[in-house]
Amino acid sequence: MSSRPIDPPKLGLEFAFRIKMELGIRQKIGRIPQGGIRGFVAAAGGEIEGPRLQGRVIPMSGGDWALYRDDNTVQFGAHYMLETHDGVQIYMQNRGYRHAPPEVAARQEKLEEVRFDEYYMRVTPTFETPVGKYDWMTRHLFVGCGERHADHSYFHYYIVT
């Protein structure tokens, strides 16, 4: 048996699509016993574009039930419905994290514009689709990054290859 370490396989990323998510109402229910503050932002709608998927976010079909943690981290727990350009509905769950230094997090809380390189916003979506043209989405691992703006966010999704 060789004592040489085994090099791990190299994984790749294939850009699949992006979503411009229009944000609706925002609410915070306050501090919860488990710690942090529970909040909600509605998915008011949005557009999907990319080489692997095109369509829209079905307006008011869900939102993000975020946990605002005491360490300046926002833990995402979003779900909503997508509709492809050819009329197929897809259920999407999106989990992830956004964190920033305290001064940047304070600016984001005031809905000020913050550069992408000033914070970390990464997500891992999963999908439920009908059997057929889009069920490939249920057999692949996706990762993404987000760009937060005052009234919308961009999410860029990649297939792990």
* pLDDT mean across residues, the chain: 95
Q: What is the pLDDT of residues 68-104, one digit of tens each?
A: 999 989 999 999 999 999 999 999 999 999 999 999 9
| Number of Cβ atoms within 10 Å of the Cβ of 17 | 21
Which segments within the chain are labelled E, that is strand?
Answer: 13-31, 37-49, 55-57, 63-64, 67-68, 73-84, 89-99, 120-128, 142-148, 152-160
Q: Which residues contact 8 (CB under 8 A, 6 or more apart)?
A: none
State the average pLDDT over residues 28-38: 95
pLDDT at 1 over 80: no
pLDDT given at position 138:
98
- Which domains does the chain carry? 13-160 (2.40.160.20)
Q: What is the pLDDT of residues 9-22, one digit of tens each?
A: 999 999 999 999 99
User: φ and ψ at 40, to 5 degrees?
Assistant: -145, 140
How many residues in the chain? Answer: 161
pLDDT given at position 3:
74
Q: How far apart are CA 114 and CA 148, in angstroms?
A: 8
State the average pLDDT over residues 125-144: 98
pLDDT given at position 150:
86
pLDDT given at position 109:
86
